[in-house]
A and B are shown apart, each in its own frame.
Chain A
């Protein structure tokens, strides 16, 4: 008999259910090192084909499967079942509207990402070849460019839960990625957006985003860098 682990999964079908409920599934551990996503796949493929959840690359690169597992936001594809205390409670990312089961509506999250202009802005004429930067300047972008937009950080943030207009750690980290880029010339227009009570100043350094980020980035530190630049500009 293979070992079994209980998955307590959040279920909600807007066409049938008025209220969400939690359904228990017994997931069989068939090989060592099984991930939570392997368990969810087992449920969908063998037990209940109606369970809805997002996943794509199953290796922590696409950022599709951000979930709240045992009360913490993480990617199900890179989280070992053996590292979690059973029963494993699986909920959709907090504070986002639920489409079905574990699938949440990311429209607002993505709109906030586009608000901070997450692309290179330049006004100087382009050089003959590519725009160059020194290895030191490039190093400043480490820990910023790796964001996969899984929404784990933003939806772990109590400020983000409470303030529907707050840009959130993810959007702010992505604005820092371009503001701190030596090739970019759009810092001022981005600061206009993020220098706001719903921008960087809504960060109360609760640090949940650092705990949640599956790519081990540091949104709080990035927001701190932006606050430092804004303070220096003022004085």
Chain B
């Protein structure tokens, strides 16, 4: 007997989307960690080398990408708190589990917009 991939994909319930985003942002944060260590390791090679690499990561391109970093960190953090409360609080209750996901999305979006606007203004003021 064989298992077949269904033609119609399983519906993306809010909790399912939240989990997929949590996984994606988790992987991105892992990759960012390597980038971060790579930048920091220039400290060991003296002032000039470090200033040079800092010049690259403070270019407008990287400043725009930093908004993405903000989004990744904020979403992963807030959703992580929700996941903890699902397991060890009462956020798995039928009445609130969906609302909690929407609150996570809304709160993350609000913080990303509030932080992203000044960051973008700074990036384009160069």
Contact surface of A with B, Cβ cutoff 8 Å: 10, 12, 14, 20, 22, 68, 70-72, 89, 91-92, 94-99, 105, 156, 158, 203-208, 210-211, 216, 218, 220-221, 223-224, 227-228, 231
Query: A89's contact among B7, B16, B94, by CB below 8 Å, is which?
Result: B7
B22 to chain A, nearest CB (A): 8
Please state if A98 and B86 are interface contacts (CB–CB under 8 Å). no
Query: B92's contact among A22, A94, A216, A221, by CB below 8 Å, is which?
Result: A221
Please state if B97 and A91 are interface contacts (CB–CB under 8 Å). no
Question: Which residues of A are found within 8 Å of B93, using beta-carbon distances?
Answer: 218, 221
A193 to B12: give the CA distance in the assembly, Å: 31
- Find residues 26-70 in chain B having any chain A CB closer than 8 Å to their own CB: none
Please state if A218 and B94 are interface contacts (CB–CB under 8 Å). yes
With A22-B7, A221-B92, A224-B88 known as contacts, the answer to whether A206 contacts B1 (CB < 8 A) is no
A104 to B24: give the CA distance in the assembly, Å: 32
Is B2 located at the chain interface by the 8 A CB criterion?
A: yes
Please state if B1 and A220 are interface contacts (CB–CB under 8 Å). no
Please state if B1 and A98 are interface contacts (CB–CB under 8 Å). yes
Interface residues on B, range: 20 to 34
Please state if A98 and B2 are interface contacts (CB–CB under 8 Å). yes
Is B114 located at the chain interface by the 8 A CB criterion?
A: no
Contact surface of B with A, Cβ cutoff 8 Å: 1-4, 6-11, 13-16, 18-19, 83, 86-88, 92-94, 97-98, 101
B116 to chain A, nearest CB (A): 28
Question: Which residues of A are found within 8 Å of B83, using beta-carbon distances?
Answer: 204-205
Question: Which residues of A are found within 8 Å of B10, using beta-carbon distances?
Answer: 68, 71-72, 94, 156, 208
With A14-B1, A98-B4, A206-B19 known as contacts, the answer to whether A224 contacts B9 (CB < 8 A) is no
A97 to B1: give the CA distance in the assembly, Å: 6
What are 12 A-B contacts with C-beta separation under 8 Å?
A71-B11, A91-B6, A92-B4, A92-B6, A98-B2, A99-B1, A206-B15, A208-B13, A218-B94, A220-B92, A220-B97, A221-B94
Query: B8's contact among A91, A205, A207, A228, by CB below 8 Å, is which?
Result: A91
Query: A158's contact among B1, B3, B19, by CB below 8 Å, is which?
Result: B19
Please state if B8 and A231 are interface contacts (CB–CB under 8 Å). no
Question: Which residues of B are found within 8 Å of A105, using beta-carbon distances?
Answer: 1
Query: B16's contact among A14, A96, A158, A220, by CB below 8 Å, is which?
Result: A158
Please state if A12 and B4 are interface contacts (CB–CB under 8 Å). yes
Please state if A98 and B13 are interface contacts (CB–CB under 8 Å). no
Question: Which residues of A are found within 8 Å of B11, using beta-carbon distances?
Answer: 70-72
